[in-house]
Homo-oligomer: A and B are copies of this chain.
Amino acid sequence: MNNGLGLHILMEFNECTAEVLNDLVFLEHAMNKAAEVSKATIIKSVFHQFSPQGVTGVIVVAESHLAIHTWPEHGYAAVDFFTCNSGMDYMKAYDFLKEQLNSKDHSYKSITRGIIKTTIS
Interface residue? A74 (CB, 8 A): yes
Number of interface residues of A (CB under 8 A): 38
- Assess whether A48 is in contact with B43, with CB atoms less than 8 Å apart: yes
Please give the residue numbers on chain A whose beta carbons come within 8 Å of chain B beta carbons, in ascending order.
Answer: 5-6, 8, 10, 12, 14-15, 43-44, 46, 48, 50, 56-58, 60, 62, 64-65, 67, 69, 71, 73-76, 78, 80, 82, 84, 105, 111, 113-114, 116-118, 120
Query: What would 18 more interface pairs be, CB under 8 Å, given A56-B60, A58-B58, A58-B65?
Result: A5-B76, A6-B69, A8-B80, A10-B111, A10-B113, A46-B60, A50-B62, A56-B64, A64-B67, A65-B69, A67-B67, A69-B84, A73-B120, A74-B120, A78-B113, A78-B114, A80-B82, A105-B117
